[in-house]
Chain A
Amino acid sequence: MRMETLQIRLSKEQLSFIDQKVKEGRYPSRSEAIRDYLRKAQLWEALERILELGHSEESEEELSARLEQIREKVYREKYAPRTKK
């Protein structure tokens, strides 16, 4: 992929955070570290959009009840039979 060069200003803290990641060996360079954090941010934004599509106004109690029903269903249908083997 063709890369563009960009000059950016970061605070001391931000730069030391990036440098620490490079020092730990997590990234080969500052550029790679920044690119990876950008990738995460892009993915998070896409995820946030789709999570909001699934948002509903159900109360905490309604949500708990729904989750319990689904857990019961998954356990009964797919996992409980395995315990009998």
Chain B
Amino acid sequence: MKVIIDTNIYIATMRFINVDRMLIWKLLEEEITIVLTDFIIEELRENFKKKYKPEEWGRALDLLLRFLGTGYIEVKRWEEYSPYLEEAKKLTNEKDAPVLAAAMLDDIDYLITRDKKAFLENKKLKNSPLRDKIYSPQGFLEHLRQTR
């Protein structure tokens, strides 16, 4: 199983012991492949640069990627998912389309996100076959409990 975790979940793990941290642990424990994209890594870099001192952000990002790397990870590049970009732009905001486009790849099973506006409560997505791929962290943990 391959799962894309949206940037907002990695950032939310900074807040406190929460469902987002539980989700990452669960994915590693269940040996589910976490798929990163070059776009998500770039966003993480920008977020970490803003949150940490200049001498700390690189180490923080490195630690996060190393921790994810203790499980199964895969990186999707722009060249792979950009063919789906135009279709994705019809379903969500332009700036969110790179994440949705990657989730449209055939080998991606799920997109887990906290973004209600762009994904979780987006009416266009609710009326598309992609709706079965998109979950909140809590919703995905529940889905795993029921299906595994």
Contacts and interface: CB of A to CB of B under 8 A. Distances in A.
B51 interface: yes
B33 interface: no
Interface string B15-52: 11000000000001001000000010011001110111
B121 interface: no
Question: Which DSSP category, helix, strand, loop or mixed, fits chain B's interface?
Answer: helix
Q: On chain A, which size bracket covers the interface?
A: 20 to 34
A67 interface: yes
A8 interface: no
Given A39-B70, A43-B70, A70 B56 contact: no
Contacts of B59: 50
A52 interface: yes
A23 interface: no
Interface string B97-116: 01000000000000000010
A53 B95 contact: no
A46 B16 CA distance: 15
Contact of A46 (B47, B56, B63, B82): B63
A59 to B, nearest CB: 11
Q: On chain B, which size bracket covers the interface?
A: 35 or more
Contact of B56 (A44, A50, A67, A74): A50
B66 interface: yes
A78 interface: yes
Contacts of B96: 71
Contacts of B13: 51
B14 interface: yes
Contacts of B11: 63, 67
Interface of A: 26, 36, 39-40, 43-44, 46-47, 50-56, 63-64, 66-68, 70-76, 78-80, 82-83
